[in-house]
């Protein structure tokens, strides 16, 4: 019968159909506790079909029944259920839901030690599809339970439509399955199988889960895995790690990955990581003492609107790209993120080869605190090739005057580079503050940046090694310097404020003299070949020319005429550095 209710309109009463109630899936089995006995009631007949004191056995019996019937829902009522053996959704299963009545009121907790087990396993080196686990708590209280929920595909299997949502996973034992074996990590939710097995997982969802005190939070992939169309959304992952350990809060490989609106805290290494991935969105996440990492080959990725805060960790967290072997990385956008005590980092190792193309770092707010010394740090071997690296519209500010030099934007490597429209504010008392440093660039266009600050010394820009550097319309700190290394190649300056590289005016050779010293007002000595002089009156056949000032070329150049005259002569002039 369709769900109905009665709605009154004055004296009239009408039955009303509720479409939302009609969407509720009835339970095939309802599991509940009656004292120390666990019972399973048939959801249709109301009969008790299974009962006993071992909760895992009763739950397993109901799952086996619904699997044999082609699917169904197992509803677990409130209570604490002791799990001594793994609960398995058998290979070949489809259309099965395991659902708790209350996320925190239904607790499946381990009752004894085991040897590398999982509390709930979806398939055992086999294929499953359309499986949902929701609205319950899994608590690992004993050693050996390595996974809370494990999806374990088989050779060539294609697992599809797997959803894990509103599950609370807690580990009492901490980061390792066995504290004496520090290579056996605990994992909250995992896709993994035997080494060498090739498998595919499609349309995988993990939503609104909480993972606490594991080594890894939510992870999936492997050397032979194909993961496609994944959404990891709205989860809270707190690994409770206060020192470095090579783990991750959320880590996946594959294609079409969306990782959004999660909170990741206290991770010994990376908070969110995508590796060997195509079409990735990491968006709207909050990370505290945890970082975002893109590693290996990444194509088409957006890291947008995330907040990263380093609080207790000694090492600053970051948004980082880390190549680890020969890789191709194309079309990466890092946009609109807020980093506090953190920075953006692209770096690699000399023994790898990297080709990156179209990398955009845009509109980020970066607050350099006590643990970070950079705002944006890009340091790759000069043999690397980075085509079209754009750093634009970012705000970089240091928040404390720690006893360490600070740099706003640092780029090293063979790059075609644009640094534009950034706002860089660095304030140091006794250490170097350097706003923009670029080396080894084949073409760097640095324009429209605003730089302010203090330092000992303060440098607006330092460039060296490379082919061509163009500086246009930047607003430099007046007390800062501009440094050009001896191997910087060609440098071109145009219309920069507080670093005048082109100027013009008038000068007069007074009657009875043959020259005038012209105060050019440039940031350095002008290139005499670029000084242009035009007489404003008749020189009476006299010739004129320009020479470098003999003692102070950084302040003056000199205009000569071939002989004295009885009248003054006026000249227009233009000069460039």
pLDDT of the chain along its 577 residues, tens only?
334 444 444 544 445 444 444 346 799 999 999 999 999 999 999 999 999 999 999 999 999 999 999 999 999 999 999 999 999 999 999 999 999 999 999 999 999 998 889 999 999 999 999 999 999 999 999 999 999 999 999 999 899 999 999 999 999 998 888 888 877 889 999 998 888 899 999 999 999 999 999 999 999 987 788 899 999 999 999 999 877 777 899 999 999 999 999 999 999 889 999 988 999 999 999 999 999 988 878 899 999 999 999 888 766 677 777 656 667 788 999 999 999 988 998 876 655 566 788 999 999 999 988 778 899 999 877 666 788 999 999 999 997 677 688 999 999 887 899 999 999 999 998 889 999 999 999 999 999 999 999 999 999 999 999 899 999 999 999 999 999 888 888 988 888 999 988 899 999 999 999 999 999 999 889 999 999 999 999 999 999 999 999 999 999 999 999 999 999 999 999 998 8
d(CA 403, CA 42): 70
d(CA 206, CA 314): 31
Q: How far apart are the first and last CA of the chain?
A: 88
Token pair recorded at residue 560: 């000569």
- Work out the widest C-alpha separation in the chain, in whole angstroms: 125
Model pTM?
A: 0.88
Cis peptide before 28 (omega within 30 of 0): no
Residue pair 378/384 in contact by the 8 Å Cβ criterion: no
d(CA 347, CA 83): 46
d(CA 354, CA 331): 14
Q: Where are the beta strands (DSSP E) in 22-141?
A: 29-34, 37-42, 48-52, 72-76, 79-83, 87-89, 94-100, 106-110, 117-122, 129-140
Kindly state the helix (H) or strand (E) to which residue 67 belongs, with its residue range. Answer: helix 55-68
Q: Which of 252, 405, 244, 255 minimizes the C-alpha distance to 314?
A: 244
Phi and psi dihedrals of 357, rounded to 5? -140, 135
Residue pair 37/52 in contact by the 8 Å Cβ criterion: yes
pLDDT at 78: 97
pLDDT at 4: 41
pLDDT at 1: 37
Token pair recorded at residue 412: 């090293």
CB under 8 Å to 371, separation ≥6 — which residues?
310, 313, 314, 315, 316, 341
Alpha helices in 117-223, H assignment, sequence order: none
């Amino acid at each position: 019968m369709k769900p109905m209710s009665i709605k009154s309109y004055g004296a009239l009463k009408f039955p009303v159909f509720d479409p939302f109630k009609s969407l509720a899936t009835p339970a095939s089995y309802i599991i509940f506790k009656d004292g120390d006995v666990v019972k399973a009631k048939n959801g249709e007949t109301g009969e008790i079909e299974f009962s006993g004191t071992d909760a895992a056995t009763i739950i397993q019996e109901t799952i086996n029944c619904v699997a044999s019937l082609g699917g169904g829902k197992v509803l677990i009522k409130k209570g604490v259920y002791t799990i001594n053996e793994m609960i398995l959704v058998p290979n070949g299963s489809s259309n099965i839901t395991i659902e708790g009545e209350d996320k925190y009121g239904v607790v499946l907790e381990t009752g004894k030690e085991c040897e590398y087990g999982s509390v709930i396993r979806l398939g055992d080196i086999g294929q499953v599809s359309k499986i949902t686990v929701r609205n319950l708590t899994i608590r690992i209280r004993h050693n050996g339970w390595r996974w809370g929920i494990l999806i374990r595909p088989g050779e060539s299997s294609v697992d599809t439509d797997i959803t894990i949502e509103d599950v609370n996973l807690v580990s009492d034992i901490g980061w390792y399955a066995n504290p004496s074996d520090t290579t056996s990590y605990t994992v909250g939710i995992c896709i993994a199988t035997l080494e060498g097995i090739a498998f595919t997982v499609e349309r995988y969802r993990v939503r609104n889960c909480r993972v606490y005190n594991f080594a890894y939070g939510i992870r999936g992939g492997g050397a032979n895995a194909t993961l496609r169309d994944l959404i990891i959304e709205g989860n809270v992952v707190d690994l409770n790690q206060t020192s470095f350990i090579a783990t991750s809060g959320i880590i996946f490989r594959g294609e079409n990955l969306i990782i959004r609106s999660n909170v990741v805290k206290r991770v010994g290494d990376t908070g969110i990581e995508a590796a060997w991935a195509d079409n990735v969105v990491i968006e709207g996440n909050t990370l505290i003492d945890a970082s975002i990492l893109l590693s290996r080959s990444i194509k088409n990725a957006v890291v947008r609107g995330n907040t990263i805060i380093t609080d207790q960790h000694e090492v600053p967290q970051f948004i980082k790209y880390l190549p680890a072997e020969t890789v191709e990385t194309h079309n990466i956008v890092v946009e609109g993120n807020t980093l506090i005590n953190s920075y953006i980092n692209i770096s690699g190792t000399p023994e790898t080869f990297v080709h990156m193309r179209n990398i955009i770092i845009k509109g980020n707010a970066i607050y350099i605190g006590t643990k970070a010394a950079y705002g944006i740090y890009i340091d790759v071997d000069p043999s690397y090739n980075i085509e079209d690296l754009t750093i634009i519209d970012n705000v970089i500010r240091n928040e404390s005057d720690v006893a360490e030099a600070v740099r706003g934007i640092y780029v090293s490597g063979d790059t075609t580079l644009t640094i534009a429209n950034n706002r860089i504010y660095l304030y140091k008392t006794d250490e170097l503050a350097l706003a923009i440093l670029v080396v080894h660039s084949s073409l760097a266009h640095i324009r429209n940046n605003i730089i302010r600050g203090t330092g000992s010394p303060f440098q607006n820009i330092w460039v060296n090694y490379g082919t061509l550097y163009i500086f246009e319309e930047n607003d430099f700190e007046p007390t800062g310097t501009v440094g050009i290394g001896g191997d910087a190649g060609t440098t071109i300056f145009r219309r920069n404020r507080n670093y005048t590289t082109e100027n013009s005016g008038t000068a007069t050779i007074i009657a009875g003299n043959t020259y005038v010293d012209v105060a050019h007002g440039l940031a350095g000595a002008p290139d005499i070949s670029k000084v242009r002089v035009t007489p404003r009156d008749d020189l009476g056949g006299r010739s004129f020319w320009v020479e470098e000032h003999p003692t102070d070329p950084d302040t003056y150049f000199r205009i000569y005429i071939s002989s004295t005259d009885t009248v003054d002569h006026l000249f227009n002039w233009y000069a460039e550095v």
